[in-house]
Chains A and B, each alone.
Chain A
Amino acid sequence: MASFPLEVADLACRRGGRKVFERLSFTLGSGELLALVGRNGSGKTTLLRALALLVRPEAGSIHWQGKDVRAEPEAWRGRLAWLGHLEGLKGDLTVAENLLAAERLRGAPPAENRLDSALVAFDLPPLAARPVRTLSAGQRRRTALARVVLTQAPLWLLDEPLNALDAPAQSAFRTALKKHLAAGGLAIAATHADLGVPGRTLELA
């Protein structure tokens, strides 16, 4: 039963009276990556938001290690690292302040000692003291990805992680993702482009 950490069964979502997807089932084990592909409007983002319990599914269940995640939503949220299509960064705070504030908002212990490695992973140390509003789209995306790394959560939910990233940043992302998977982490990413990391694919119609 609990052989896979994440089991999704018969999930169905409806948005504005329209069925986005239904009877969606998959499992994901330790160290596995699931790439969500499909055309615009096929429900990739909705699925990610349903997994994070941001959207209430119409039917179906989500189990983590055999337990329904809706029984303990706060514990479930603590296991997630989230990257939405919006970065979730405050323009008036610096890169470092944004990362530390996000960690503190999760109620996590002070992250100053872990901050450097997360910044280095995405080549951010030179930008650490810059207010985010002065950054380019790609630099913001890198900051948001550094936040995901800093979170140290077992399951990453990523919406178009490669958006706006240049080639070096894409390779930095691949390195970080591989490291996360190698450590037994799980990741689900909605994507148009090839992530460049071996994993399973789920196509949404």
Chain B
Amino acid sequence: MSGFAALVARDLRLVWRRPGDVAVVLAFFVVATTLFPLGIGPEANVLARIAAGVLWCAALFAALLSLDRLFAADFEDGTLDLLLLAPWPLELAALAKCCAHWIVTGLPLALLAPFLGVAFGLEPGVLLALAATLLVGTPALSLIGGLAAALTLGARKSGALLALLALPLCVPTLIFGSGAVEALATGGDFGAHLAVLAALALVALATTPWAIAAALRQAGE
């Protein structure tokens, strides 16, 4: 486990040295969500109706945007070889990388989303629900996106390809994430949606580290 913690700590320290990279992702999230009222029109009831979906989609895009450097930086400077050669399971290293990514992307996105929700006219309870769904759901996005990042390591045009691979796999998370918020707003069963969302995150947690490790090994060959 010490290697796992060391890898998370190293990645967080690297982000700390260049906080601008995270700031750009969060700025994208803010700007992208702001475009929807401008494109659709400022009608309050329409905005409140689409808010959950828009914020979830924007969070998904923001998370994916930041992912193409997740393994590429290590691949380019040779530290990926050191991870491959570390005497503990590569699956844990994959998990550590995604974990660090979530701390610097998923977590701030979830904390920022309620403030943007205010601009869409959401009720306080719904704002909390939005943050809760993003907290539970974004780990799945980091893991699935991490897999896409590992698969596209060294590929031509990896950025667009990454999104093409990750987006269909993120659909269930998106459906239940925004669905949960909508359930709360329309008197549906919020708890059931959130439980399914948590289950989806657990499935991603249980399956993707192995696939990421396999992808990293073949990238190292």
Contacts and interface: CB of A to CB of B under 8 A. Distances in A.
A167 interface: no
A84 B87 contact: no
Interface in B1-55: 2-3, 6-7, 9-10, 13-14, 17-18
Interface string B74-91: 001111011111111100
A77 B90 CA distance: 11
B220 interface: yes
Nearest to A86: B78
B220 A54 contact: yes
Contact of A104 (B6, B78, B89, B221): B6
A90 B221 contact: no
Nearest to B18: A92
Contacts, number: 78
A52 B221 CA distance: 11
A125 interface: no
B86 A88 contact: no
Determine chain A's interface SS by DSSP, over half rule: loop
Interface of B: 2-3, 6-7, 9-10, 13-14, 17-18, 76-79, 81-89, 220-221
Interface of A: 49, 52, 54-56, 74-75, 77-78, 80, 82, 84-93, 97, 101-102, 104-107
Contact of B77 (A55, A56, A87, A106): A87
A101 B86 CA distance: 12
B86 A91 contact: no
Contacts of A80: 85
Contact of A101 (B6, B85, B87, B221): B6
A105 B77 contact: no
B89 A74 contact: yes
A85 B78 CA distance: 8
